A and B are shown apart, each in its own frame.
Chain A
Amino acid sequence: MVSGGNASSLPLVGGKPEPTIKELSSPGRRASKFPKLDVPEVKINHESLKKEKARLPEVSEHDLVMHYSRLAHRNFAVDLGFYPLGSCTMKYNPRFADSIASDSRFANMHPSMPEEFTQGCLKVYYEIGNYLCEITGMDDASFQPPAGASGELTGLLIIKKYLEVNNMNHKNEIIVPDSAHGTNPASARMAGFTVVEVETDSRGMVDIEKLKEIVNDNTAGLMLTNPNTGGLFEEEILSISQIIHNAGGLLYYDGANLNAIVGASRPGDMGFDIVHSNLHKTFATPHGGGGPGSGPVAVKSFLREYLPGPIAENKDRKYNWYQPENSIGRMHGYHGNFLVTLRALVYMKLLGKEGLDQLGAYAVLNARYLSSKVSQIIPLAYDEPCMHEFVASVKDLKKSHKIKAYDVGKALLDKGFHSPTIYFPLIVEEALMFEPTETQSKETLDDLASNLKLIVDDLQQDDTVLEDYPKNLPVGRPNELIPAKYLTVNWGDFELLEITE
């Protein structure tokens, strides 16, 4: 049996750097061609028009295609190999969804059309709203937020507005676990809340006693992922929910880890009032190199009127936009990331009840299996059954051989795998967080584990120079200090630096 997820055969060719498109430019070349002007040309005098041409590269179409294709070759991707990046759910993205999203009847719709013209788009929002609410156990959803972080902010603004409308303005504290994603505290602060951290106990879960100490009349809510960022199911979630609700606070579910529980358990049943989902994780829309994503927010019915609108409704067999009464307002210039939402609906339709019912279970199976293999090489951070991801720690190797999580990640690149997430969650020293997802085969999981073993052995050799890893890629570790210090963020900046230094 051979692993399908090992990309070490990948032709990430060449030791030479690819020139920039500007360096490929030569005066007088062009790729573009437009039709001849078919209206009578007149002299237009306007104070805003300029005389000179824009500064853009001049390249032939073939040069352009070769350049960007070569750059594509220099990039790892889910379509090329195993991407066990914890917290990011890098599962397979069905090609079929791309074909639906490329249909001009969706892709070429102008966002300002009256709703009578856009019944298809509205139906997409309506249908996926139903799916998402059933999966998360909520009642109503808005697809305005264009990303997960935007979804978080949406949820917090909903809490804020809800408290304002119900004359509870004094409630200004949002509780966030010390293991949370950085976006949680950042979003809470943006929404105008004070952030209060609750500690994680030795098992890796929210410390209930500490939580009780922190909760008070000013508690506005708690943000939590479940499973949490350590990959563990918060077994006391019902007690946590009760503690927060008894204090008059709301419970916010960060959907970053939703993949673990789809079909098995629902945030709505755990007591959460607000849920954001990352369609680009759980529902397999392509990550696009770091976006576009989509971060819809679903709520229990008592919060429906606070949702960012408009939201899609179905009345008398017609779809229409509904503007919630106490809406927090728009989170996006139009209707959120429609084509991402459409892809997610395609995925949900392809999986259907049978696929979605077992989605979480398979994601957990792969993580549990991989954790069993990895634990024989690197100790795990927690001695608890993991859900869809798990955290290992190389703090002992750091002590004995100065090997950091960073080094393990870099060495793994040489073997044809993406690195796991490193240094997260922050509360685990030298953390390596693995999330295999449900779409990788047993052989690929085995292959990762055996390569991890090879690396860990290699890195401990006396003659190892850790900084040399990765060794087999077009570039080695870039010097991170140069751009941070000299702001070489525009072409020409670096060359200028070489002249002046």
Chain B
Amino acid sequence: MFVPHSELDLKKMFDELKINSLDDLFTHIPDALLLENGLDLPESLSELESIDYFDDIAARNKSDLVCFAGGGHYDVYLPQTVKSLTMRPEFMTSYTPYQAEISQGILQVLFEFQSLVCDLTDMELANASLYDGATSIAEAISVAINKTKRDRVVISSGLNPNSKEVINTLIDRNKFNLDYVELNNFLFPTNFEFDESQAAFVVSYPHYEGSCQDLTSIVERAKEKGLVTICYVDPSMLGVLTTPGQMGFDIIVAEGQSLGTPLSFGGPTVGWFATKKEFARLVPGRLIGESRDKDGNKSYVMTLRAREQDIRREKASSNICTNQTLNAIGSAIHLSWLGPEGIYEMGYHAIQKANYMRKQLIKNGYVIPNDDSSLREFLLEVKSDAAEVIQDMGDKGFLAGILYDEKHILVAVTEKRKKIEIDNYIESLMEVDNG
């Protein structure tokens, strides 16, 4: 289908190779391994036929729901400018910028991405991205283990449950202990005692349930015991929240979907990873540096390559080969589009609207267990079975949130939600959730 060769081309190529058919290309493969009748698959479709085929599949999704789900992935407004620039074919159809002289475009955007992430989080060095938020946490834990040579990790329980599963997969629990610490009234216990056997302290900011706290003193005490402190942050709220850098964290990781990438059913998104320069040689993934060519022209190039798997092989600290460049480009362009005022409004409107929604829910008899500590995301206690409420709210046109437990739904509000949508949500909720 995308093969250019005409009969004439084939003849010329066959002549050059002194063969008579495509089959002659495989005479060195044992007969037993050659497929006799090809693959058992349906015939091809034209683009026109494919439109119908995929239209049928797309129609099976309940895709028109007003989204009140978050948990790391947020229905924020993604400007057309960001979408169309990110989808420029020069960005989309290139590979890792190994050849710097013809890849200055990608290299500079990634350099800008790294710098923007540093500015937004108050850190010194960011990599050119990782797979997603969850895998980034696991990579950060590996860095901490390598740095401290200790074998225990303190993890706040207020993390996305899927992220916990990814950590449990990627960190070898035969060698390392993962100690999950329960939150106390939705906040990390300020009196938690760290000790010198622990490699890392991992905490989500805000916590998964939406509550948020100043972590400065906890970070300080963890660092006193030599732990590497790791913050998993919601980056789209950094227009209004105190930055993890200001709170003293050593490593910041993030799920970057809400900056530059559509919800995408969870992937591809982008993991952010930022830290201090003292950790530079432990950082996983690609890193872009600024340099000069021999004429003194500014030029960018991949750097600290000696850490990576293609050079270090089994001695590499991570097997990461690719990153999520295109999504990182999306993040850079979205952040530049937002600017300081835009990212502020994005966060400020979200917390104002979430606050309005909580107060309206409470006014209508609902309990919000973490009303006082939450910002844009919170737990909603329902009277009926929470899974059923989510199902029934779907029929009313709402994605009510994420199932938290039998009685609770995790509700997220972005700057995109309108007052009328919030009001209608509550009205519908009262209809479907009648105990």
Contact = CB atoms under 8 A, between A and B. Distances in A.
B4 interface: yes
A118 interface: yes
Interface in B192-230: 205-206, 212-214
Contacts of B156: none
A31 B339 contact: yes
Interface string B251-281: 0000100000011111111000000010010
A385 B28 contact: yes
Interface stretch (B85-93, B147-155, B377-385, B425-433): B85-93
Contacts of B54: 100, 103, 346
Interface in B66-96: 67, 69, 71-73, 75, 77, 79, 81, 83, 85, 87-96
B71 A112 contact: yes
B224 to A, nearest CB: 22
Nearest to A81: B102
B105 A21 contact: no
Contacts of B44: 349-355
17 contacts: A37-B352, A48-B205, A68-B109, A77-B89, A117-B399, A120-B60, A121-B61, A146-B267, A186-B319, A289-B91, A292-B267, A292-B324, A330-B134, A333-B135, A349-B53, A350-B47, A365-B17
A491 B278 CA distance: 17
Interface string B327-354: 1010011011111111111100101110
A5 B431 CA distance: 62
A171 interface: no
B265 A17 contact: no
B188 interface: no
Contacts of A134: 39-41
Contact of B266 (A22, A83, A111): A111
A440 interface: yes
Given A355-B44, A489-B125, 4 more contacts: A21-B332, A54-B239, A108-B262, A346-B50
Nearest to B242: A50
B267 A332 contact: yes
Interface string A41-78: 11010111110011111110100110011011111111
A123 B422 CA distance: 32
A372 interface: yes
B7 interface: no
Given A47-B214, A107-B264, A118-B62, A32 B91 contact: no
Interface string B1-17: 11111000110110011
Contacts of A34: 77, 342, 345-346, 349, 415
Interface string B34-55: 1100111111111100100110
B104 interface: yes
B32 to A, nearest CB: 7
Counting from the closest, the 8 A-B pairs by CB-CB distance are: A483-B289, A352-B44, A334-B266, A111-B266, A32-B342, A75-B105, A288-B326, A333-B134
B297 A340 contact: no
Contact of A53 (B50, B341, B375): B341
B340 A410 contact: no
A31 B318 CA distance: 38
A246 B110 CA distance: 48
By CB atoms of chain B within 10 A, which of A104, A152, A470, A483 has the most?
A483
A292 to B, nearest CB: 3
A21 B112 contact: yes
A77 B342 contact: no
A338 B265 contact: yes
B403 interface: yes
Interface string B285-303: 0111111111101111101
Contacts of B65: 113, 117
B231 interface: no
Nearest to B83: A102
Contacts of A71: 104-106, 108-109
B73 A182 contact: no
B30 interface: yes
B78 to A, nearest CB: 9
Interface string A95-122: 0101010111111111111101111110
B63 to A, nearest CB: 4
Contacts, number: 654
Contacts of A20: 108, 111-112, 115
A146 B373 CA distance: 35
A480 B2 contact: no
Contact of A186 (B268, B295, B313): B313
Nearest to B26: A264
Contact of B2 (A102, A152, A438, A478): A438
A265 B35 CA distance: 5
B345 to A, nearest CB: 5
A355 B2 CA distance: 9
Nearest to A236: B30
B182 interface: no
By CB atoms of chain A within 10 A, which of B53, B297, B341 has the most?
B341
A56 B340 contact: yes
A301 interface: no
B94 A54 contact: no
B172 to A, nearest CB: 5
Given A83-B95, A338-B267, A368-B17, A476 B297 contact: yes
Nearest to B323: A291
Contacts of B32: 238, 269
B114 interface: yes
A474 B162 contact: no
A118 to B, nearest CB: 6
A111 B265 contact: yes
Contacts of A82: none
Interface stretch (A187-195, A209-217, A390-398, A451-459): A187-195
